[in-house]
């Protein structure tokens, strides 16, 4: 075994439906593997149906293989709390019963010390009014779940997102884990519509926004962070009443997410760094991409081409010299 593999550790967390417990950890640096499975019970190699019957003693969990030199166990525990309702002893959100309860399964006395200290801090923080009931238990054999459960957020993104929202988890986490200081700071410098669009996934009125028919040459940046998003060279009149672009600027300037709100299935567009809601992308645009990035003006700030240098965006100046 290599020295690198020898330093890897395991963390095991139960937080209700394991579909929703993979993505938050999977995206962090230093995470080698996140596996869905069953643990805590008395039946070897249980099936999903057996575990759901609440007759095996098992609960759904994720086991994380991680590099503690890159992402510490303390950070993992802190992130874990932000995925669950630790005051609910009967299940999680829409899922009820023992198999959907929460628990931290520790693999060493050091993990136990960190987990207990973190649980105590959470209880004293005032984030929750009710007592923290998530138990801290010794790790037991972990049995991987069936293949179709693994990485569910990637293999079934539409169903995953519908479940994540429909179960009540998304709304609960948003309400309880707001960064109040950041929210206050943003409210102080954004207009009400800018805040509503970027922070609450709002939509401004069509044809009554600054950039829907704006034709000046330059770059559109995120109103929150200033990160460059779109070029006027890729803007076109789609007739929809919002700024429309055939593509973002080169590089990973925006991220795309499945959006199942309002009884529709759409692709949401967000800024990469600030995670601002920008709008949606549709497959009804002109060539060469065939895409229409339909973006709220309230999420954007415009930088004219002759101001790019002073705004630190000089690398885009050559686009307008062709």
Cβ proximity of 304 and 217 under 8 Å: yes
- Give the N- to C-terminal CA distance of the chain in Å, as an integer: 55
* Whether the Cβ atoms of residue 115 and residue 78 lie closer than 8 Å to each other: no
Shortest CA distance to 245 belongs to which of 209, 266, 274, 269? 269
3-state helix, strand, coil in the chain (%, to 5): 35, 25, 40
- In sequence order, the 6+-apart residues with CB closer than 8 A to the CB of 118 are 74, 77, 78, 81
Question: Could you give the CA distance from residue 18 to residue 149 in angstroms, rounded to a whole number?
Answer: 8
Rounded Cα–Cα distance for residues 237 and 258 (Å): 25
Q: Is 17 part of the annotated catalytic residue set?
A: yes
The H or E element containing residue 51 is helix 48-52
Q: Which residues is 137 bridged to in the sheet?
A: 105
CA angle 268, 269, 274 (to 5 degrees): 125
> CA 230, CA 251: separation in Å to the nearest integer?
11
CA distance linking residue 61 with residue 187, whole number of Å: 38
**Would you call 52 a catalytic residue per the annotation?**
no
Distance of CA 74 to the CA centre of its chain: 20
Report the C-alpha gap between 24 and 313 in whole angstroms.
32
Residues assigned a catalytic role? 17, 294
């Amino acid at each position: 075994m290599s020295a690198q593999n020898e330093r890897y550790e395991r963390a095991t967390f139960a937080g209700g439906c394991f579909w929703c417990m993979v993505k938050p950890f999977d995206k962090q640096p230093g995470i080698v593997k996140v596996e869905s499975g069953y643990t805590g019970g008395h039946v070897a190699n249980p099936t999903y149906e057996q575990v759901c019957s609440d007759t095996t003693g098992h609960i759904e969990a994720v086991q994380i293989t991680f590099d503690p030199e890159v992402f510490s166990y303390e950070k993992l525990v802190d992130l874990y709390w932000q995925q669950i309702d630790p005051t609910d002893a009967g299940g999680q959100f829409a899922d009820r019963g023992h198999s959907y309860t929460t628990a931290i399964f520790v693999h060493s006395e050091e993990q136990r010390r960190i987990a207990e200290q973190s649980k105590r801090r959470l209880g004293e923080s005032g984030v929750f009014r009710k007592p923290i009931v998530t138990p801290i238990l010794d790790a037991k054999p972990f049995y991987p779940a069936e293949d179709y459960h693994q990485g569910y957020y990637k293999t079934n993104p539409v169903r995953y997102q519908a479940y994540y929202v429909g179960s009540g988890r998304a709304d609960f986490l948003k309400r309880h884990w707001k960064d109040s200081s950041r929210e206050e700071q943003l409210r102080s410098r954004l207009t009400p519509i800018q805040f509503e669009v970027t922070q609450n996934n709002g939509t401004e009125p069509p044809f009554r926004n600054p950039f829907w028919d704006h034709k000046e040459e330059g770059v559109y940046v995120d109103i929150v962070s200033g990160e460059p998003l779109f070029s006027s060279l890729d803007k076109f009149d789609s007739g929809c009443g919002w700024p429309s672009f055939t593509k973002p600027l080169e590089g990973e300037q925006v991220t795309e997410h499945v959006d199942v709100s309002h009884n529709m299935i759409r692709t949401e567009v967000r800024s990469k760094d600030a995670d601002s809601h920008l709008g949606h992308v549709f497959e009804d645009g002109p060539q060469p991409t065939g895409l229409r990035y339909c973006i709220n003006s309230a999420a954007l700030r415009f930088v004219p081409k002759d101001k790019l240098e002073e705004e630190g965006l000089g690398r885009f100046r050559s686009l307008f010299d062709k």
